[in-house]
Structures are given as C-alpha cells and as structure tokens.
Amino acid sequence: MIIRHLTPTDAESYRTIRLEALKNKPEAFSSSYEDEVDFTVEKYRNRFSNDHTYTFGAFKGENLVGTVTLLCETKKKIKHRATIVAMYVMPNQRKLGVGKALMNVAINKAKELKEIEQVYLTVTASNEPAKRLYESLGFVTYGIDRNGLKIDDTYFDEELMVLEL
C-alpha cells in the first residue's frame, strides 16, 4: 500500500471513491450523494489545487482504496486549527491498517505546518470502529452534536473530537 498526496490527475479516481462513500455510508458525511453526484471531475481537480487543503489517498496497486482530507483554516483568528474530513476506506480494505495509515499521514502533515496546534474531526456517534481509531491516535471527545445529521426521517448524533498537537 502506498499513501500519497492526491493531485488534480487523481480527480477521476477520487470522484469514484467519494461517490461510493456517500452512497454506502451516508451517515458518515455531511455531504450527500445527491449533493455531489452532479459534480464534475473538474470540480474535484480544483479541490486538489489550493494551498490549504491536503487530500491523501491510499493505493493498492493502481486502485485508490481510501482517502482523507486535512482542511486548514485560513482566517487569522483560527489559523491554528485544521479539520479532518472525508475519511473513507473501502469496505474490503478495512481492519488492515489503511485508515490508521491515512490518519497518521494527515496528522503528520498538520504537525509539519507550524501554525497548526489543534486538529478537529466529527464522527457519527454510533460508529464505534472509527471512534476507536481516532481515540487510539489521541483524539478526545469534547462534545456531542445531538441530531447533527438528518437522513430522511432518521437523526444521527455526531461526536466532536480534537487532537492537541
């Protein structure tokens, strides 16, 4: 397995795995499949072209099997913060260390960036495997967003977590 920073040339592969993630685990993301299904490959290319977002991909051979994004704040008062979003590992690659490897790369990138002091993430409160992973990396829960997500008529609580660097 190789993990690397994604570039605009990875946009098509990223779009494929992103739509799969949104379709198969809708409760894990604030975006929905319906929100992004019409996004062009070009829109994803642009996401990889700015200087405050770092998206990493895990590859098995040529296949993109997992992703994570570190989003750095740009406003002066909150430039010491970054947020991890869009974390996803394909089901057949789970429990093999892919998620932990992706998270470690994102955390290490945050540590490289001198301004970043805290890394935040949000996880569906019922997603025990993900919570265990994040806790094993030093994240702690600082709050619960009750009914943070609503899919059709079902609500999901979200756990708010932070890692102090």
Question: Which residues 6+ apart lie within 8 Å of 56 measured at CB?
Answer: 3, 4, 5, 6, 67, 68, 69, 70, 102, 105, 106, 109
Range of the domain at 49: 2-164
Q: Taking the CB of residue 158, how many other CB atoms lie within 10 A of it?
A: 22
Strand partners, 160: 122, 143
Report whether 123 contacts 131 (CB < 8 A): yes
Q: What is the pLDDT along the chain (165 residues), one digit of tens a residue?
A: 999 999 999 999 999 999 999 999 999 999 999 999 999 989 888 888 888 999 999 999 999 999 999 999 999 999 999 999 999 999 999 999 999 999 999 999 999 999 999 999 999 999 999 999 999 999 999 999 999 999 999 999 999 999 999
The pTM assigned to this predicted structure is: 0.93
pLDDT at residue number 145: 96
Three-state secondary structure call for residue 131: helix
Backbone angles phi, psi at 23, to 5 degrees: -75, -45
Length of the chain: 165
Which CATH number covers residue 21? 3.40.630.30
Question: 100 vs 8, 122, 131, 157, CA distance in Å?
Answer: 24, 16, 12, 23
Question: 4 vs 84, 124, 135, CA distance in Å?
Answer: 16, 26, 24
| Amino acid identity for residue 4 in this structure | R
The count of domains in the chain is: 1
pLDDT at residue number 101: 97
